Amino acid sequence: EAGVAQSPRYKIIEKRQSVAFWCNPISGHATLYWYQQILGQGPKLLIQFQNNGVVDDSQLPKDRFSAERLKGVDSTLKIQPAKLEDSAVYLCASSIDRSTQYFGPGTRLTVL
Amino acid sequence: DQQVKQNSPSLSVQEGRISILNCDYTNSMFDYFLWYKKYPAEGPTFLISISSIKDKNEDGRFTVFLNKSAKHLSLHIVPSQPGDSAVYFCAASGKGDTGNQFYFGTGTSLTVIP
């Protein structure tokens, strides 16, 4: 079974630039999550999709972050414009139920 | 508001001894708890979980204990091996109005000394 795929693995941008991350969840997983993990902290949920609908985006900074899930499968997370404090690892995860989540390798973003 | 807390940022244990990682939570609506292991440059991987209807779950060298009255859970690794050196995250799940949600602690970095 293929795992959760994410790209790119690393990204370095200047502040005020835009960036996009891509996630392909495990086939058949209806729920998809995007997390932000700042160094030394645990993953923080940004947005949760159930199929292609948003079920929780309460912690997503909507003035600069946006996300979509195409046809209930792949998802993209965009930051526009980026700030220094957005430097973090962005993790995508998918799940069938509450028994577990499967995480991708993450995208490490550095904003200079 | 940190609903899941891991108060020990790091732990060092000799190989062959027991490692005990602790986690506390504040939300009594949580009814499912998970432990994840994370190596550098990789995403977290699922290790073991426990439902709130149980107080213990065992899988090989890993055992998770849940004390609901104290809102506390712990992960025991016996015996500890050098390959267990990683960051361990505790997570809790609850059935909210918006579906399945997971809340993570800040992690404990375990070092197993050969």
Tokens 């700042």, located at residue? A38
> What's the pLDDT at A99?
74
Compute the distance between CA of residue B103 and CA of residue A85 in angstroms, rounded to an integer.
Answer: 21
Q: What is the mean pLDDT for each group of 10 consecutive residues in chain A (112 residues)?
A: 90 97 94 93 92 88 94 93 96 86 95 96
Average pLDDT over residues B46-65: 95
How many other CB atoms sit within 10 Å of the CB of residue B74? 16
Query: Which of helix, strand or coil describes residue B16?
Result: coil
Token pair, residue B68, equals 């609901």
Residue B97 has pLDDT above 60, yes or no: no
Nearest CA in chain A to B90: A42
> What's the pLDDT at B100?
66
Residue type, A19: V
Percent of chain B with pLDDT over 90: 81
Q: Which residues of B touch A55 (CB under 8 A)?
A: 98-99
Smallest Cβ distance to A50: which of B93, B99, B107? B99
CA angle, A42 then A90 then A103, to 5°: 75
Average pLDDT over residues B47-54: 94
Mean pLDDT of chain B, nearest integer: 92
Please, which pLDDT band fits residue B73 given cuts at 50, 70 and 90? very high
Q: Which residues of A touch B43 (CB under 8 A)?
A: 4, 91, 93, 103-106
